[in-house]
Amino acid sequence: MDISLLHAGLAAGAALAAVPVILHLFMKQTPRHVIFPALRLIRERNKRSKKQLKVKNWLLLAARMLLLALMALALARPTLNSETSLGDQEVPTALALVFDTSMSMQYTERGKDRLAEAKLRAAEILKKTTDNSEVFVLDSADPVKPVAVSPASARKRIDALTLRDANRPLNAAVVQASRAVADSNLARREVYVLTDLASSAWEPGSTRTAEDLEKIREEKKAVRTYVLQLAPKKVDDVAVIAAEPTSAVVAEGEPVEIRATLRSSGPATERVAEFWLDGDNKKDQKLVALPANGEQEVTFVTPSKLEAGLHQGRIKLGGGADNMAFDDVRYFTFNTQPALRILLVSDLNIDALFVEKALAPEASIATTGASSPFRVERETRKQFEARARLKDFAAVFLLNVDGLSAADWGKLALYVREGGGLVVAPGDRADVSAYGQGAASILPATLDEKKTAPPGTTFGRADFEHPLFNRHPRLLDPELTAWPVYRYWGVKSADNARTILKYSDGAPALIERSFKGNRTGHVLLWTTPLARRVSRDEPGAWNEFPQSWAFVDVLSQAIPYFAGTSGERLNYEAGQDAILTIDPNRKASNYTVQGPDPKVTDRLSAPTTGDVLLIPTPQKAGQWTVKGTGPDGSQMKMGFSVNVPTTEAQVLSLKPNDLDTLFGGKDNYKIAEDAKGLREAHDKAVYGSELFPYLMFLILALVTAENLLANKFHRDSATST
């Protein structure tokens, strides 16, 4: 901390404080002679009066001296600086302007969005910047190293800034800007952050920003940071924050349910939600009543007879306008494909009945008119022996089959290694010897002996990272432990097997083994049957699991998992990598990626390994398509949707404590809400805090005290006289 003087010459006036001393010396009063009969009393009184007069004169002298000194100091206009003052504002400056270009800056007030307001404020700052200053313009979405330019060039760069669908945290841009100006040789270094302070644009809990800024300060390079808050005074907006089909892949001919969520930020209102599919085809619209600062879900259903292939659509707000246009629409993509064929092999009808009902429930067909996503076929063991081709099936189930021949196990081994899915669920009819050497090549475990479960045994905790269980982990966990298990097979797991579900007593319940190839094949071994009996006394009564909705959910997830579509994702947020599954039988040599801008295309080579295609960080919100040509000339089309991150629609400002954490304390930044506040914060940082008002207050207090003392002393003198 140091003090500088705006008018240093006037400070010499403090020497006038000596005037009262001179006056007191040359105008010293001569003692008065008092004639009184009682001489002794007069002498004593005279001694006391002289002593009191001496003390009073010194107090009055000190007050008058201090008064003159403070008047001279006030005229010099002293200021208290936190750093060495640089004097005139026309000093060349290393100046960084950090622009928040996230989509929340689109919020519009009085016909001007937040980015336009930021550009206006930046222009005002540049007007006061000398031509020989160094200016760094940083776009929060652009990670490139900033380069110093002249104020004139900076104006052009600022004019070209646009809002970006994908952005990086402002923390990184602030550190980058501080480092750039700190490395400058110019004496004055300033960083201006122009933002609406929406929490979505920052990493509020990060302490790394403060640590990086502290390292710059440790280098003794003073950088003043100003945060210009451009947040709207009052938020009034309606947004579509979610719009996705219930599944990324659905069966051909099955209607698809699209669930959308609308959010109101502000008063209660009504808006029209429009459902568009495959281009400019509006299929439906609904009037939605939204509570104040609340959400409302709306559901649309596609036509039943959609052609197989790629379908892209959007949910769009109509019936009025609001202050942010980007969140009035949300895009989605899904694929339709022919129903997947499932083969159930069992000798008893009861052993396959529950699996069949779970995968192809007649009730859903009757009530919705929709076809099942799975086409189930049933065969006995002898019929299976006669079958030569399994490639057309997405999954094969062996349900309480007594056993298979070595040739049949070989047929299943080939099917699995070519990417097929096999589910084996032995029960009371299974013959251990028939599940031996031939089965061991593909089964994740060999059967040991039948075991009676301890009383109260149920399924235990599943591996909820696995695709079979990760769809509804919170709901599945209590459901799996609610149904009793009476018997199960003891097994010896293979070295490359993975147990994904256990019983409550710790024994394996579901074991998996995978086979890598052009398409990964999977074998699932249940150690208890996928069927139940009415009476617990029957030999086949091993569990009550088929009565649970979890039974339907897990089996329904198994089929797309085998087909490679369970983890398929076709809807992304801007900045996320898009990953598309490629049919290994229809690979192309290269792919053309087309985004929302028809003028911009990209080409990608086919992946050398695996069956996925990676499209790195698509930046633009909208519909994307990927086209390729197979070796035989066949055309293939894939696609996905990209949306602006949902958090951008929440204009929630950072709290002061969050800013203190980010910058490492209140003293490391100044915040302003408008041009006046920014000017005051800047002048205070550059010129310091002026002490003139405080000095004037002290002068007024001293004048009052001097008058009171003088009046009191004169009154006392008159009284004593």
- Pairing mode, if any, of strands 329-337 and 282-290? unpaired
pLDDT recorded at residue 371? 54
Q: Any idea what DSSP says for residue 103?
A: G
The verdict on residue 87 lying in a domain is: no
- Give me 330's structure tokens: 């949300």
639 and 656 share one domain: no
Q: Which residues of 281-295 are buried (b: 16+ CB within 10 A; e: fewer)?
A: eeeebeebebeeeee
- Which is nearest to 154 in space by CA: 197, 233, 98? 98
**Residues 290/320, Cβ–Cβ less than 8 Å:** no
The verdict on residue 33 lying in a domain is: yes
Would you state the torsion angle of the CA atoms of residues 54, 60, 61, 64, taken in this order, to the nearest 10 degrees? -170
The verdict on residue 411 lying in a domain is: yes
Is residue 397 very low, low, confident or very high in pLDDT (cuts 50, 70, 90)?
very high
Is residue 589 very low, low, confident or very high in pLDDT (cuts 50, 70, 90)?
confident
715 and 683 share one domain: no
The verdict on residue 531 lying in a domain is: yes
Mean pLDDT confidence for 612-625: 91
Residues 6+ apart with CB under 8 A from 470: 464
Domain holding 205: CATH number?
3.40.50.410
Per-residue pLDDT tens for 421-477? Answer: 999 999 999 999 889 777 888 999 999 999 999 999 999 989 999 989 987 888 899
- Which is nearest to 120 in space by CA: 84, 79, 161, 82? 161
359 and 494 share one domain: yes
Per-residue pLDDT tens for 121-138? Answer: 999 999 989 999 999 999
- Give me the domain span that covers residue 619: 571-643
pLDDT recorded at residue 463? 94
pLDDT tops 60 at residue 364 = no
3-class DSSP state of 220: coil
Domain holding 246: CATH number?
2.60.40.10
Give me the phi and psi of 147, to 5 degrees please.
-120, 135
700 and 623 share one domain: no
393 and 326 share one domain: no
pLDDT recorded at residue 601? 87
408 and 540 share one domain: yes
pLDDT recorded at residue 220? 74
The rounded mean pLDDT for the chain is: 84
Domain count, the chain: 5
Q: What percent of the chain has pLDDT over 70?
A: 79
- Give me 147's structure tokens: 């380069």
394 and 305 share one domain: no
C-alpha span between 561 and 469 (Å, rounded): 11
Tokens 């596609």 belong to residue: 302
The verdict on residue 670 lying in a domain is: yes
Per-residue pLDDT tens for 633-646? Answer: 778 889 999 999 99
